[in-house]
A and B are shown apart, each in its own frame.
Chain A
Amino acid sequence: MRKAFGIMTVLASLFAAYAFAAEGVTTGPNGEKPVPAASLTLSAAQEQQIKDGKFTAALVWHEMSEYTNAVNAGARDEFKRLGIEVVAQTDAGFDAARQKADVETVMAKKPSIILSLPVDPATAASVYDPARQAGVKLGFVDNCPTGYKQGTDYVTIVSDDLFQMGNKAGIAMAEALGKKGKVGYIFHDADFYVTNQRDGAFKKTIEQDYPDMKIAAEAGMADPARSEDIAQAMITQHPDLDGIYVTWAEPALSVLSALRAAGNTHTKIVTLDLNEPAALDMVKGGNIAALVADEAYSIGVTLARASAGSLVGLKAEPFYAVDSIAVTKETVKDGWKKSLNKDVPATIADAMK
């Protein structure tokens, strides 16, 4: 009886903790409700039908980075599993005009599917129209062309669970600081829904869930190249900060160098995305405490699966979100594998020995 009561108490307190935790959900660019990416499956019959269809796909990326590489690898692996040949891959270098040319070019190979991340959603309709009009199944990462209708013009959008990423960053910061202390908050000062949601979720988590923690300094960053100046100013004005949140890994490296230059070893950094130099500092016991990463590889797998399914009549949900993971010194090996589907870089593996 006492045992049962004990279990109930634990359950009740867990429930309470859940209920009081910062609430919020990631929504798609058009307010879509997220569906877990893991819920998307194909039946054996559907898979066979896809294999029999001898379909082809083209990957029209916005740019190539470690993140895009992981998405790309996930998509290619899933297409391979389903017997779909990838006939072309392009990199627009963040240039909408080049992305338009890329779509036109890959259309010469008459792909059944195009997976892409639109460089500029507001104007992307003119980029994808040649493919849409030809009946190509379009699958998008993160956002979609303004004016396009899900289900008719494109298959689905797959993205990170952005709120979860910011939330996990908040939790990781709290863990690193023993749930108390002063935090600096460097957010992305631009109208970009990916970073806006992640940053907002971090702030909300700290403010709502950790009464002994305080956001003591805030600074917006519009240009990553200026992040060192921003960090410099922040630690000059607030030398007693226990932790700094930085909107993503690249500017976090500038914050790290500002801290190093100031001889500061006690301020912890939590940031988003996996990055080799940042992870190296983390495993060496430096300022970086945690890196929250999305499962980029899963984005590619999910998008490829949904688009392939649509060729045999599968109705995809409008918006899928993949999970994220907080990578710390202890979990860096597994985290790397899970996020990027790659082994941790040799430098980091060596540093851990």
Chain B
Amino acid sequence: MTSANTGTEVGSFVSRFNLQQYVVYLGFLAIFLFFAFMLSDSGFLTVRNLSNIVLQTAPVTIMAIGLVFVMSAGEIDLSIGSIVAVSALAAAVTIASYGMAAGIVAGLGAGILIGLINGALVAYVRLPSFLVTLATMGLFAGVSRSMTDLRSISVTNGAFTGFFGSGSLLGVPSLIWWTVIAIAAGHLVYRETRFGAHVLATGDNARAASVSGISVPKIRLAVLTISGGLAGLAGLLYAGRLQAAKYTLGETDLMTVIAAVIVGGTLLNGGKGSIVGALVGSLMMGMLNNGLILMGLSVSDQMIVRGLIILTAVAVSLRDKSR
């Protein structure tokens, strides 16, 4: 009797336990354990290597936070990679002549401005965000190439590179601080404010949101501006870490960011998402890159295995039972 009761309880616990919601955490854990076991003598578990993963993924994590807001509102931002390059270059060029503060303003300002342009076109000219940001992705990739005529610009301001890339505070690297602060702030705004609720409502059903008094255009403008600003911050982090800026920065990040956000449990068509999930998704991408290199696989094999793992993760987290 007792055992039967326990059995039912376990059963109901399993049915209540929504596997899909936790797949990113379970996947992360599975991949971590796999690498920890396989690479036990290859330095994977060293503090240095694990902290490297967090440092390397910091810009992607920051961009992913912005994209969670955008996708939760039912939009997409494809221009983040180009914003990274424009912001990093704007900051690098400005720092050289006017110092650190002006450089930060220029870098973040460029990101926010591009985000505002995206947002205004989507919210008020009523163009689809996919097409708007596809166009601005190309447009600002061109701008970043012409800004310095393809040259890379060194960033020699020690305060800037320390603050955004290579420094540390209380023994913790600055990139980890940035990640923690951005995730905490993002999570708070997303989960605990009216704005966060309005973003989700807009993504869930824009018409219903509008009827219930939410200004849908304002939400769309806001999420794309946030995404632009955070991509700008990612640009500053890259410039600080590399002590240089070049038009190629961020070029290859878009797909990684989208994968991190989706694996992290944010729906592509809006209404549901998770900031912490995006962090775990981003770390998972970084851990995959790191572990597959340490396994000594050839570059082609690394790409194949990474693709298969992401496919599996997406299949488990996004499978739509109603289809």
Chain A residues with CB below 8 A from B183, complex form: none
| B contact residues vs A (CB 8 Å cutoff) | 42-44, 46, 48-49, 52, 55-56, 59, 150-152, 154, 166, 238, 241-244, 246, 248-249, 251-252, 289-290, 293-294, 296-300, 302
A98, CB-defined interface residue at 8 Å: yes
A64 to B294, CA, bound (A): 18
Shortest beta-carbon distance from B90 to chain A in Å: 17
| Known contacts A100-B241, A109-B43, A122-B154: A88-B299 contact under CB 8 Å | no
Q: With A96-B248, A101-B56 in contact, is A126–B46 under 8 Å at CB?
A: no
How many Å lie between the Cα of A105 and that of B243 in the bound state?
19
The answer to whether A105 and B42 have CB atoms under 8 Å apart is: no
Instruction: Let me know if A212 is at the binding interface, CB within 8 A.
Output: no
Please tell me which one of the listed residues B49, B152, B300 contacts residue A122 in the complex, with CB atoms under 8 A apart.
B152
CB of A10 within 8 Å of the partner chain = no
List B contacts of A104 (CB < 8 A).
52, 55-56
Is the pair A96, B293 in contact by a Cβ cutoff of 8 Å? no
Asked if B43 and A110 make an inter-chain contact with CB atoms under 8 angstroms apart, the answer reads yes
CB pair B246–A96 under 8 Å, yes or no, is yes
Interface residue tally of chain A, by bracket?
20 to 34
- Within the assembled complex, what's the spacing in Å between the Cα atoms of A91 and B301? 12
Interface residues of A in 61-97 (CB under 8 A from B): 61, 64, 86-91, 93-97
Check if B249 sits within 8 Å of A102, measured CB to CB.
no
Contacts of B242 in A (CB 8 A): 96-97, 100, 123, 126-127
Q: Is A106 positioned at the interface, with any CB of B under 8 Å from its CB?
A: yes
Q: A107-142 interface mask toward B, CB cutoff 8 Å, 1 = contact, 0 = none?
A: 111100000000110110111000000000000000
Instruction: Point out the residues of chain A lying under 8 angstroms from B244, CB to CB.
Output: 96, 120, 122-123, 126
Which of A102, A104, A127 neighbours the largest number of chain B CB atoms within 10 Å of its CB?
Answer: A104
Q: A95-B251, A97-B241, A123-B154 are in contact. Are A102 and B293 (CB under 8 A)?
A: yes
Do A88 and B293 touch (CB < 8 A)? yes
Q: Could you name 16 residue pairs across A and B whose Cβ atoms are closer than 8 Å?
A: A87-B42, A88-B294, A88-B296, A91-B299, A94-B248, A95-B249, A96-B248, A97-B249, A101-B289, A105-B289, A106-B294, A108-B44, A108-B46, A110-B43, A122-B151, A127-B242
